[in-house]
Structure 1
Amino acid sequence: MSRLIVVSNRVPPPADKGASAGGLAVALQAALRDRGGLWLGWSGETAATEAESEEIKTRVEGNITFSLVDLTKRDQEEYYSGFANRALWPLLHYRLDLADFDRRDTTGYFRVNAFFARILAAQIQPDDVIWVQDYHLIPLAAELRARGITNKIGFFLHIPWPPADVFFAMPWHRRLLEAFTSYDLVGFQIDYDAENFVNCLVREGLGRETSRGTFKAGEREFKIGAFPIGIETAEFTSVAVEAEHNALVKRMAVSLNNRKLIIGVDRLDYSKGIDQRMLAYERFLENTPSAHGKVTYLQVTPKSRSDVPEYAEMQREIAETAGRINGAFSDIDWVPIRYINRTVKRTTLAGLFRMADIGLVTPLRDGMNLVAKEFVAAQKPEDPGVLVLSRFAGAARELDGAVLVNPYDMESTGGAIAGAIEMPLEERIARWRSMYDQLTRYDVNYWCESFLKALETQHNVPAFGSQNPQFRQAS
């Protein structure tokens, strides 16, 4: 079996089994666990000089070798804080109003991708398979091809891809689209994103379909497919069961005093719709006086991208919304919202998910959202909670037992919360069972194997649309 090379913007720090790891880090470590290989990316540290950034830091964990490089402060500001997070991130989440298309940042983005390509090219063996992760590294394959690398190279986008008229607002959209054609396989979370991307290619005259999922650009053939990412379902279920004995989880259970628990877990980001979610909960409280004192909403929101001004302002606004709602509805012995603005260990979250009656996952736009899947995996089979899920999360294409909501419609989302609280046990079990079976079959190992099989062979990629058995119609 050929060696696998994974390339991502960030490489996870030395393992802390109890830490709260992001979905990407958890999924990729699971993908590499059996096969082994090399994981290359930014260390998260800044180098004082360009010469220092050339130094590769290596560590080995099991059969995975991690190669890390530092970035200069200029590279960090232009490539990461600038183009990746202030141009691409809002653009791909349909937020043109927040996108900042700065020419200097764009230059930095392509410069750092060329830097990663130079570092990686020296480590590539002839039969290696290269798997590039996410929007930070779109030009990487083109840079590797320019250096004579002919290995199989795949790309997976973890976030959404917008319609052509949104993407074309970026001044350098054609250059990015051309970069994609240097890959052998381009993967998206769901069929809708893949269809949006294909439409961009066709409208720019950069690709034509020669067979299902196979496209040609000039002399190059490449494939496009939908590969919904899964979680380590069985492992997360076991963690949740064990976490029932976690001291913090027990304290939470005692503090609830038999109240119903609604839980939301998101890093701080405008795509997550946290402020709208709190407003929907407020509508629920206004319309359901009988629930006062009987329901607690826990929102866990670690800080994110604190160096970007928009995020600091968003943190302030969400905290003010939570404070205003608590001020309006609290009683001497009850606070309707518990808002935690820090990281909670993943093991603890699993236990909190397991005791929760409702998982409130309502992003305004999300590529997949693994929190939705983790909530389902954590539930008690004999008494599961209800997943209230945004129809704009990729997970809505798979989890047919979720209660789908429009997060922009606070009134109906509040009504969905009320309905979920009153949902009969028999219906809750039926909905949960359907979703759990889906997560068991299409777990993170399936995601990895299906992508790599499509990359390494000439087999057709999974179908885009409803004919793909992984996609299901939620209610």
Structure 2
Amino acid sequence: MSRLIVVSNRVSLPDEHGSSPPGGLAVALNAALRRKGGLWMGWSGKVQAEEQPAALMEKEVGGITYALTDLSQKDLEDYYYGFTNQVLWPIFHNRADLAEYSEARESAYYRVNGLFADQLEHVLRTDDVIWVHDYHLIPLAEKLQQRGHKNRIGFFLHTPWPPADILFTLPNYNTLLRGLSCYDLVGFHTENDRNNFAECLRRQELGDLHGDDCRAYGKEFRCGVFPISIDTAAFASLAGRGDDLQESFCRLAGFDVAIGVDRLDYSKGIDQRIVAFNRFLRSNKHRMRKTVLLQITPKSRDKIPAYQAMQKDVAELVGRVDGELGSVGWVPVHYINQSLGQPELASLYRRARVGLVTPFRDGMNLVAKEYVAAQDPRDPGVLVLSRFAGAASELGEAILVNPYDGEDMARAIETALDMRRDERIRRWTPMMERLRAHDVYRWCDDFLSSLDPPRGSMPSLEPALPVAG
């Protein structure tokens, strides 16, 4: 049986006991690698002192080989902080106005993809199946083919794919499209993302899509929709065991809690959410001193100026709202600027009456799915979800909102808090059933069986824990 080779920008290494890092994606990929045998390759997270190519360092844990490579400081600045995070990320999230393109950054992007291809050559076998993850590594298949490799190779995009007019603001966008045509299978979260990709090809008369079959640049490949999910059973179990984490709730006792959990990023709509919560309180005086917003926002990419500015702006906004509305014994917005562990997060989701997931644009947004999975089946909270998150295509029973419309979000918060328990159960039940049936293991199986036919030739992955409740 062929090995599975996973390639991503960063590698999720197990801990000293061999346990996978927290997070459904790492758990599922490690399970797939153990099942098929294989290797996970990517950047070590370290910066080498010298400019020459780093050696590939291998570490075997639990039958899986982790192959790590360092980056030079120049490549880190131009490839990672530069092209991927200051060019591709804003464009893929419909913020072309924030893209800071330069030829040096683009050159580094393709150079580092070439370095990854060079390193992969040292460990690649002719029958290996390769699964490449995310926008950092779009050119990798083309780089491998230029080196003579003919392995089956799939790509999954964890971000949205932008509309044609947004992508076309990127100089040399054609090379990205050509790079994707070199894969056997390209996976997107939603039908909308796949349609955007097809429209980019059609508009420039580069190719076309018919069903799952695509032809472009003289190549034939497949484009599929594979909405990523979470380890539903494990997350529900965590939330059900969280009653002993009372220290997480001491400052929230007696209040109705709305929760937002987001990496600090301009795509997440955090400041507009806080403004909407402020508007909700001012319009509903009876909710004053009874309702709080718990906003958990770990820092992100804090070497990039746009993120530094956002950190300052959000902190000032929270201070202003708390200063204007707060009183002794009641702070309307609790702002936590650090990461929390999965057990504590699961418990806080279960405690919150409203989950606020209101990004301007998101490939999927797994926080929405985690919030649903964490709820008490007998008394679930209400998910308020942006129409522009990929999760909205699966979680239609949530209250869907326009994150650009503060009045809409304010009304949605009040609707959620007023909702009767029978209505909350009626909305939550089909969403949870969907998450049980389509968890991260199912996502992994669906993609790999589409990439590595015949279908059904591999045993399916099993979730680690039973569903609670």
| Aligned match for 1:268, one of 264, 267, 275 | 264
Q: CA deviation at 1:25?
A: 3.8
| CA spacing shift, 1:244–1:20, aligned 2, 3 Å | farther
| 1:170 counterpart = 2:170 | yes
**Matching residue of 1:86:** 86
Residue aligned with 1:160, SS? coil
| Aligned match for 2:348, one of 348, 352, 355 | 352
**Matching residue of 1:322:** 318
Per-residue Cα deviation, 1:400-453 (whole angstroms, up to 9, x for no partner): 221100010011101100110110000111111110000001111111111111
**Matching residue of 2:230:** 231
| CA spacing shift, 1:387–1:399, aligned 2, 3 Å | same
Per-residue Cα deviation, 1:319-377 (whole angstroms, up to 9, x for no partner): 01111000011111100110000111112101111111111110010000001001111
- The more displaced of 23-32 and 299-308 is 23-32
Q: Within 5 Å, which residues of 2 pair with 1:37-116?
A: 37-51=38-52, 53-116=53-116
User: How many aligned residue pairs are there?
Assistant: 454
Letter in 2 for 1:137: L
**Matching residue of 1:299:** 295
Q: CA deviation at 1:397?
A: 0.2
| 1:416 counterpart = 2:415 | no
Contact 2:14–2:21 (CA<8 Å) still a contact in 1?
Answer: no
Q: CA deviation at 1:213?
A: 1.1
Give, in whole Å, the separation in 2 of the partners of 1:125 and 1:347: 40
Give, in whole Å, the separation in 1 of the partners of 2:44 and 2:64: 16
Q: CA deviation at 1:27?
A: 4.9
Q: CA deviation at 1:205?
A: 2.5
Give, in whole Å, the separation in 2 of the partners of 1:399 and 1:36: 34
Per-residue Cα deviation, 1:90-129 (whole angstroms, up to 9, x for no partner): 0000001101111100000000000000101221112111
Residue aligned with 2:400, SS? strand
**Matching residue of 1:472:** none
Give, in whole Å, the separation in 2 of the partners of 1:374 and 1:38: 28
Give, in whole Å, the separation in 1 of the partners of 2:380 and 2:291: 17
Letter in 2 for 1:241: G
Give, in whole Å, the separation in 2 of the partners of 1:417 and 1:71: 45
**Matching residue of 2:239:** 240
Q: Within 5 Å, which residues of 2 pair with 1:182-221?
A: 182-209=182-209, 211-221=210-220
Residue aligned with 2:55, SS? coil
Contact 2:214–2:222 (CA<8 Å) still a contact in 1?
Answer: yes
Per-residue Cα deviation, 1:257-313 (whole angstroms, up to 9, x for no partner): 221111111111000110010001011111011011111111110001011011011
Q: CA deviation at 1:57?
A: 2.1
**Matching residue of 2:397:** 401
Q: TM (normalized to structure 1)?
A: 0.92
Contact 1:190–1:228 (CA<8 Å) still a contact in 2?
Answer: yes
Q: Within 5 Å, which residues of 2 pair with 1:365-444?
A: 365-444=361-440
Give, in whole Å, the separation in 1 of the partners of 2:2 and 2:156: 19
**Matching residue of 1:468:** none
Give, in whole Å, the separation in 2 of the partners of 1:277 and 1:98: 21
Contact 1:56–1:68 (CA<8 Å) still a contact in 2?
Answer: yes
Give, in whole Å, the separation in 1 of the partners of 2:136 and 2:24: 16
Structure 1 segments unaligned to the other structure (5+ residues): 460-475
Per-residue Cα deviation, 1:186-236 (whole angstroms, up to 9, x for no partner): 110000000000111122232234x52112235421001110001110011
Residue aligned with 1:50, SS? coil
Residue aligned with 2:376, SS? coil
Give, in whole Å, the separation in 2 of the partners of 1:96 and 1:457: 38
Letter in 2 for 1:39: W
Contact 2:384–2:400 (CA<8 Å) still a contact in 1?
Answer: yes
Give, in whole Å, the separation in 1 of the partners of 2:187 and 2:318: 38
**Matching residue of 1:467:** none
Letter in 1 for 2:113: N
Letter in 1 for 2:167: F
Q: CA deviation at 1:15?
A: 2.9
Residue aligned with 2:323, SS? helix
Letter in 1 for 2:373: A
**Matching residue of 1:339:** 335
Residue aligned with 2:131, SS? strand
Residue aligned with 1:404, SS? strand
| CA spacing shift, 1:133–1:391, aligned 2, 3 Å | same
**Alignment RMSD:** 1.8
**Matching residue of 1:462:** none
Residue aligned with 1:70, SS? strand
Contact 2:14–2:20 (CA<8 Å) still a contact in 1?
Answer: no
